[in-house]
């Protein structure tokens, strides 16, 4: 074990909350509980900021795979805090194959992406085309987070609708994407549901999540209920 690994792991264990660990393990069933320390996200983010942009952070980012779930989360947070777009992409390409759960995948949302949406878009398509569960999920999440407003293109809905998978964590993200699209690009997203482009489970989960949203009117929710596939 390297010095930085020992230091990071020691810091994580000092922040351990055993009750939170028990709760958290139930939320990430794809992760071996033996690899979960039990650190709350605010504490993890604080730790990430303390190390961010230091030589130790760079040293840690060069180490893969990690032993602990929280180490992976910290790795993702280090990437998120970097303001060099090319470096973020380089590190993501190295890290994404090692992600094994939805929580680590979803916490990574680099602010630098906001300033590089044009060059980021083809990279997102690469992530989706990798075919690995959490690379695909990450690509869809970035489309949802950064491309449903001014940078939106109708083709993006088609790209996500054309993803066919048996993986629960991919299909759940597809449903989340289209439920969000119904808020921000209603007319175009509605066409996907009306045409029944999604598989039955994802279609109905999209409607469920949209109905649960406070950003969608009761009138639209009523209509969406009529689109459920029985």
pLDDT tens-digit profile of 144-154?
999 999 999 99
Tell me if 55 is assigned to some domain: yes
Identify whether the C-beta of residue 123 lies closer than 8 Å to the C-beta of residue 138: no
| Same domain membership, residue 153 and residue 82 | no
Tell me if 77 is assigned to some domain: yes
Closest CA to 181 of 202, 200, 201, 165: 202
Identify whether the C-beta of residue 11 lies closer than 8 Å to the C-beta of residue 38: no
Q: What's the pLDDT tens digit per position in 87-120?
A: 999 999 999 999 999 999 999 999 999 999 999 9
Tell me if 78 is assigned to some domain: yes
Structurally, how many domains does the chain consist of?
Answer: 2
pLDDT bin (cut points 50, 70, 90) of residue 13 is: very high
Identify whether the C-beta of residue 108 lies closer than 8 Å to the C-beta of residue 80: yes
| Same domain membership, residue 105 and residue 133 | no
Boundary-marking domain end, from 88, 112, 136? 112
| Same domain membership, residue 96 and residue 18 | yes
Boundary-marking domain end, from 60, 94, 112? 112
Burial state string for 121-154 with b = 16 or more CB within 10 A and e = fewer than 16? bebbeebbeeeebbbbbbbbbbbbebbbeeebee
Residue-number span of the structural domain to which 194 is assigned:
122-230
| pTM, two decimal places | 0.95
Place of tokens 């409607």: 207
Conformation bin of residue 38: beta by default, left when phi > 0, alpha when psi is -120 to 50: left
pLDDT bin (cut points 50, 70, 90) of residue 131 is: confident
Q: How many helices (H) and strands (E) does the chain have?
A: 14, 0
């Amino acid at each position: 074990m390297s010095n930085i690994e020992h230091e990071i792991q020691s810091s994580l264990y000092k922040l351990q909350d055993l009750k939170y660990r028990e709760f958290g393990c139930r939320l990430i069933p794809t992760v071996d509980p033996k690899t979960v320390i039990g650190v709350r996200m605010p504490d993890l983010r604080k730790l990430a900021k303390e190390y961010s942009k230091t030589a130790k952070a760079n040293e840690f980012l060069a180490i893969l795979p990690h032993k602990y779930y929280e180490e992976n989360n910290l790795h993702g947070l280090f990437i998120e805090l970097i303001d060099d777009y090319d470096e973020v992409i380089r590190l993501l390409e190295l890290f994404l194959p090692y992600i094994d759960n939805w929580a680590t995948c979803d916490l990574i949302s680099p602010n630098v992406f906001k300033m590089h949406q044009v060059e980021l878009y083809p990279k997102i398509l690469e992530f989706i085309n990798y075919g690995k569960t959490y690379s695909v999920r990450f690509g869809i999440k970035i489309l949802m987070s950064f491309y449903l407003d001014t940078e939106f293109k109708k083709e993006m809905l088609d790209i996500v609708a054309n993803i066919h998978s048996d993986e629960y964590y991919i299909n759940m993200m597809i449903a989340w994407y289209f439920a969000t699209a119904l808020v921000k690009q209603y007319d175009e997203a509605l066409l996907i549901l009306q045409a029944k482009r999604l598989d039955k489970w994802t279609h109905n989960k999209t409607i469920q999540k949209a109905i649960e949203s406070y950003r969608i009117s009761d009138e639209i929710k009523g209509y969406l209920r009529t689109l459920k596939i029985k």
